[in-house]
Structure 1
Amino acid sequence: MTRTIFIGNEWRPSRDGAVIDVIDPAKEERIDYLSAATAHDVDLAVDCARRAFEGEWRSVNGAERANLLRSIAKGISDRREQLARLEVIDNGKPLAEALWDIDDAAGCFSFYADLAQEFDAAQDETIALPDERFESSVRREPVGVAAQIIPWNYPLLMAAWKVAPAIAAGCTMVLKPSELTSLTSLKLAEIAVDAGLPAGVLNVVTGLGSVAGEHLARHPDVDKIAFTGSVPTGTKIMMGAAQEIKNVSLELGGKSPFIVFDDADIEAAVEWIMFGIFWNQGQVCSATSRLIVQEGIADRLVKRLVERARGIPIGNGLDPRTKLGPLVSRGQYEKVRQFVAQGVAAGARLVTGGEKPANMSRGYFIEPTVFTDVPLNSSIWRDEIFGPVLVVHRFSDEQQALRLANDTRFGLAAAVMSEDETRCKRMSEALRAGIVWINCSQPTFTQAPWGGYKQSGIGRELGRWGLGNYLEVKQVTRFKRGHVWDWYADKSNSS
């Protein structure tokens, strides 16, 4: 059955009837279709969101929004298994990872329900002024209609990161999921209807980024653009937003370093290194894909890492034994293979992986891949690969490690492993990244801010910072009764 577009709590096909195949990346088989939204469909969705924002939604208070968010959270939890299996066949990730993602998505809606509950009381904040004749306050109001464009690596979770705070703030929105992984975003729309979310607050348009996504990002009646994805697309969105000075938040790419000092426990380090690069098949914007390891343990650590990487079970994500599934699409598979070839051509040493597993004839699978002796000017060291490919470089001292880590146009995340707490603190302060992990990699909590420096983006998601993305700040200043403002009074005859 073709999945249709969701506008104003109603399902409708695209205007021209065009569809997009949904491919199971483990089998390379079509499992469904999506409606491919046209610019006209996007216009309808934005208009619907605008009418909802200007209508009754503006009078819905924080407590009511909190109840709606909690109902959505419950709806996600109630459909946990179904949603996780949809993510597996749509994205390819192992079922255990998908279940974790669904739980996180439900938790995200619950967290923002609590913030929405507090919103009314915290909406107006009094400011102390130096002139007692005036009183001033800051009022926080919803920014309006939000365009939300999300990637394919965490389909429902990335939707939750944007939809939940937008609802909490009182915005309306048009959500554009990736054409590669739209199934759970459409399920989220169903859950929102069941939860009682008013028509037009959440609209979901499926379709190509070059058509639906681009038109949505440039739409004149959109007040805010929230985008997660690649740097080139983020650049285009920012350029388009500049024409009308739109509110923009961007969460873009990364090439995150993992620095391991020679006092680290090798087994613990290897476990976190693997989690940092092989989780979700390395298709993670914050993946710690550059391993910077101190010379004293480099040989032993890499040897153990290769042994462990070769033992990771690879297969269909629905198999409970699988720890590494396929890449999301043929295009992504070919891109990663090209990076591997470029690494070899640049003189890096491929110590394991780089190929499709020999026993798999179908599916976009690629083995866990590790390069050592990687030239610092090579594409595999400098560019985001977005696959299970780890590049390794050695260092001698702390300052060299820091130079290697910060020598990148990205700045999303970084990890440091050492038993020396003082050194870890120094490194966390010196690393130019929005997220720093100490003795771990990739833990993500809804309560903490998420975002990066440099070309990794603008703004922060999650926590109270995520709510702030969807709020405008208004100053309200009052001249108190009982005082006289006589600036232009004729005081020439005053004694």
Structure 2
Amino acid sequence: MTTTSPQLTELIDSLPTGLFIDGQFHDAEGGKTLDVINPSDGSVLAKIAAGSAADARRGLDSIVKAQKKWAKTPARERSEILRKAFEILVERSEALALIMSAELGRALPDSRGEAAYGAEFFRWFAEEAVRISGDYRHSPSGNARMIVHHQPVGPVVAITPWNFPLAMGARKIAPAIAAGCTIIVKPASKTPLTMLYLAQVLKEAGLPDGVLAVVPTASARDFSALLDDPRVRKLTFTGSTEVGQMLAAQAAQHSLNVSLELGGNAPYVVMADADLDVAADAVVAAKMRGAGQVCIAPNRFLVEENVKDEFLAKVEERLQKFVVGPGTDPKSTYGPLSGDDQVETVRELVDDAVVLGATKSMGQLPDGLPAQGSYYPITILSDIPAEAKIHSTEIFGPVIAVSTFSTVKEALEIANDTPFGLAAYVFSENLSTALELAEGIEAGMVAVNKGALSDPAAPFGGVKESGNGREGGFEGIEEYLETKFISLPL
């Protein structure tokens, strides 16, 4: 199966590999590098600069220096830079898809979807940049004029995950730029090439030097040490709950603004009155995107007991059509996981459930895959014992874990029996039932009778231990603004 091609090799060789600081790409201190691995075959795609603590500090210095001037830049000018970035990203969407599929291993159809989705954040926040508003009031007591004014929060530290190399950065960078903030980004060490390419695109779009810094590093501590610098005014993080909470505690020492998008354990509730073809079709969009390595992917499939067998038969029929292979192979419809570490995590969860008595179906890889690739087969689990770890642990792989219920009340109890609350999915043809479930499930986002949930024009975020704050929508830019009250005599 094809893992590389002359086109891909030429593209990868043309990508920037240095730290992006003050508008230029630089070598890391001491010339340190890290390898970017292709999960499709285990080969080294590229060597990139691996920033040190001093490099991260240099990046922070550059955005702090640029902050005052950027905050005073007219909103229309900021908007036009974002709009230009959107246009470049659309024009180069196929190159972006190839880069993401190479470093993440994800199949090209999914990477093309992210290329379009990520670009849309730049268009959305280009429009929001010129919509930042304030307020003018009279005090009810009649003795003061009250002006409510919004200002950029200041220099931002952003940390992004590996599973959406473009979109997770776009959801943070675009609103920061729109609001008048400067920002330093640490991309995941597994997938830094896309973020470095995005930095190049933003420079081409006219972003002034110093407004953005991108510092890949093999040491997360070297980067998170920036939160101890009082010049930083905001942390935005997407990743695991454990790490996010540790960073938030560190950020609290300087009372930083914090927004966190953390782990999920999404329920996928299928009522007996659901259109089972719609519910089965939606599994493809909700679960199989990125081979299941998506924070909002359903983790717990809760199916009303009298339709479980019919639903599973329909789901298996659809999953059998997937073609596993290298992410950049045009024939592949799902690729490897992000690395052998991720394969082992998923395998442990599935093996634990099976040992405890769960029923397993599918779960076989075809012959002919690259020996060093990080592949895991699509797997369906049912009759899962309550004590299985898979009920409470985010799977992040192509595993459909099914449990049953008999009443709406029971479905809600199971759905809410988790400390997480990022996303949820509900399927019912009865509007009253669908709304009862959607309103009753403790989650920041609920999709009803559909598998696609995210939209740049909608607020994205969770409740409980899935984080705080929102990205996207009208709310997204507010995360990068401070509210100032100015009082004048009447």
Q: Secondary structure at the match of 1:155?
A: coil
Would you say the 8 A contact 1:357–1:365 is kept in 2? Answer: no
Q: How do residues 314-325 of structure 1 correspond to structure 2 at under 5 angstroms?
A: 314-325=324-335
Q: How do residues 196-345 of structure 1 correspond to structure 2 at under 5 angstroms?
A: 196-345=206-355
**What is the aligned partner in structure 2 of residue 18 from structure 1?**
32
What do the CA deviations read for 1:377-423 (whole angstroms, capped 9, x no partner)? 32111111211112110111110111111111110011110110111
**What is the aligned partner in structure 1 of residue 171 from structure 2?**
161
Query: 1:209 deviation in Å?
Result: 4.7
What do the CA deviations read for 1:265-286 (whole angstroms, capped 9, x no partner)? 2222111123221111111101
Q: Secondary structure at the match of 1:416?
A: strand
What do the CA deviations read for 1:449-485 (whole angstroms, capped 9, x no partner)? 11011110011111121101101111111112xxxxx
Q: Secondary structure at the match of 2:295?
A: coil
Counterpart CA distance in 2 for 1:111 and 1:436 is 22
Query: 1:217 deviation in Å?
Result: 3.9
Counterpart CA distance in 1 for 2:284 and 2:406 is 23
Unmatched runs of 5 consecutive residues or more in structure 1: 481-495
What do the CA deviations read for 1:19-40 (whole angstroms, capped 9, x no partner)? 1111111111001011111000
Change (3 A) 1:246 1:436: same
Counterpart CA distance in 2 for 1:357 and 1:252 is 34
Identity of aligned residues (%): 36
**What is the aligned partner in structure 1 of residue 84 from structure 2?**
71
Counterpart CA distance in 2 for 1:393 and 1:472 is 45
What CA RMSD, in Å, does the superposition of the two structures yield over aligned residues?
1.4
2:477 corresponds to which letter in structure 1? L
**What is the aligned partner in structure 2 of residue 107 from structure 1?**
120
What do the CA deviations read for 1:212-233 (whole angstroms, capped 9, x no partner)? 4322344432110000000111
Would you say the 8 A contact 1:288–1:414 is kept in 2? Answer: yes
Q: How do residues 90-489 of structure 1 correspond to structure 2 at under 5 angstroms?
A: 90-119=103-132, 122=133, 124-353=134-363, 356-360=365-369, 361-480=371-490
Counterpart CA distance in 2 for 1:213 and 1:24 is 24
2:54 corresponds to which letter in structure 1? H
Q: How do residues 75-90 of structure 1 correspond to structure 2 at under 5 angstroms?
A: 75-90=88-103
Counterpart CA distance in 2 for 1:340 and 1:378 is 9
1:314 corresponds to which letter in structure 2? V
Counterpart CA distance in 1 for 2:116 and 2:288 is 20
Counterpart CA distance in 1 for 2:193 and 2:228 is 25
1:210 corresponds to which letter in structure 2? A
TM-score (norm 1): 0.93
What do the CA deviations read for 1:145-174 (whole angstroms, capped 9, x no partner)? 000100011101111100000000000000
Would you say the 8 A contact 1:357–1:366 is kept in 2? Answer: no
Q: Secondary structure at the match of 1:22?
A: strand
Unmatched runs of 5 consecutive residues or more in structure 2: 1-12
Which stretch of structure 1 is more off in the superposition, 68-77 or 165-174? 68-77
Would you say the 8 A contact 1:288–1:441 is kept in 2? Answer: no
Change (3 A) 1:378 1:202: same
Q: Secondary structure at the match of 2:264?
A: coil
Counterpart CA distance in 2 for 1:8 and 1:185 is 16
Would you say the 8 A contact 1:343–1:378 is kept in 2? Answer: yes
2:368 corresponds to which letter in structure 1? N
Would you say the 8 A contact 2:423–2:444 is kept in 1? Answer: yes
Query: 1:356 deviation in Å?
Result: 4.4
1:224 corresponds to which letter in structure 2? K
Query: 1:318 deviation in Å?
Result: 2.0
Would you say the 8 A contact 1:34–1:207 is kept in 2? Answer: no
Would you say the 8 A contact 2:228–2:254 is kept in 1? Answer: no
Query: 1:343 deviation in Å?
Result: 1.7
TM-score (norm 2): 0.94
Counterpart CA distance in 1 for 2:452 and 2:32 is 39
Query: 1:253 deviation in Å?
Result: 0.7
